[in-house]
Chains A and B, each alone.
Chain A
Amino acid sequence: NAGVTQTPKFQVLKTGQSMTLQCAQDMNHNSMYWYRQDPGMGLRLIYYSASEGTTDKGEVPNGYNVSRLNKREFSLRLESAAPSQTSVYFCASSEVRGADYEQYFGPGTRLTVT
């Protein structure tokens, strides 16, 4: 099993450009998440999808849109990139199995906006 995969691994954008970060999981999890990680700020939730067909805002949703394409895939779109969106982006997926809850992360996408 690959777990959670993300593409691309690195990306450089100019201010105003758009792009989509892709995420896929092969664990048959219902819930998926997008986080950003910045020095001194920790991991912050951007958007999440509790199940296929639903999406909800997290702590820092402004400037982003998401699409839950199917149960496996959850994409994050930057419509007009800004330097403040320079960050490392992580996708995660989770499942509740009885009393156990686990959340697994992908390897990340390092985005620089100039």
Chain B
Amino acid sequence: EDQVTQSPEALRLQEGESSSLNCSYTVSGLRGLFWYRQDPGKGPEFLFTLYSAGEEKEKERLKATLTKKESFLHITAPKPEDSATYLCAVFNNAGNMLTFGGGTRLMVKP
């Protein structure tokens, strides 16, 4: 059974204070690892898909990296508008389903 664990559950940062969110996973054949951003009262917003260990993708202040056991979402010099819950999910070779982690709630104070 695929499992995804995200840490920390919540993270408070000062504006400009860089940090990383962790996503650890076990999956029977990784087809892709996904990062989403979710604002309160809204649906998850697609950020990245990573497909193989060593891959990196960037979008504005966010950079996602992937190893064989975990993924990191690095946030460089965050701004208050980066405050949201960040979700990680894995997609395995066997099926059509994503398995989600519990999310990390990020709060960036000005």
Task: Report which A residues bind B (CB closer than 8 A).
Answer: 4, 31, 33, 40-45, 48, 50, 56, 58-59, 90, 99-108
Contact partner, B97, options A4, A45, A100, Cβ 8 Å: A45
Chain B CB within 10 Å — which of A40, A99, A105 has the most?
A105
Asked if A105 meets B43 with Cβ closer than 8 Å, knowing A42-B101, A42-B102, the reply is yes
Tell me whether B102 and A103 are in contact (CB under 8 A).
Answer: no
* A41 shortest CB reach to chain B, Å: 8
A108 touching B87, Cβ below 8 Å: no
Closest chain-B Cβ to A56's Cβ sits at a distance in Å of: 8
- Given A43-B87, A108-B42, A108-B43: A103 and B101 interface contact (C-beta under 8 Å): no
Complex: chain A residue closest to B32, CB-CB: A101
On whether the beta carbons of A101 and B91 are closer than 8 Å, the reply is: yes
Q: How far is the CA of A106 from the CA of B41 in the complex (A)?
A: 11
Assembly CA distance A31 to B91 (angstroms): 14
| A90 close to B102 (CB less than 8 A) | no
User: Given known contacts A50-B96, A59-B97, A90-B44, what 19 new A-B pairs fall within 8 Å (CB)?
Assistant: A31-B96, A40-B102, A42-B100, A42-B101, A42-B102, A43-B44, A43-B98, A44-B100, A45-B97, A45-B98, A48-B96, A48-B97, A101-B32, A102-B49, A105-B43, A105-B44, A105-B45, A106-B43, A108-B41
Q: What residues on B are CB-neighbors of A99 within 8 Å?
A: 51
Tell me which residues across on chain B come within 8 A of A103, comparing CB atoms: 34, 46, 98
The 11 listed contacts between A and B (C-beta, < 8 Å) are A4-B43, A42-B101, A43-B98, A44-B100, A45-B97, A45-B98, A102-B49, A104-B46, A105-B44, A105-B45, A108-B43
Is B31 in contact with chain A by the CB < 8 A criterion? yes
A53: min CB distance to chain B, Å: 14
User: 8 shortest A-B CB distances, which residue pairs?
Assistant: A105-B43, A43-B100, A42-B102, A105-B44, A42-B100, A107-B43, A50-B96, A101-B32
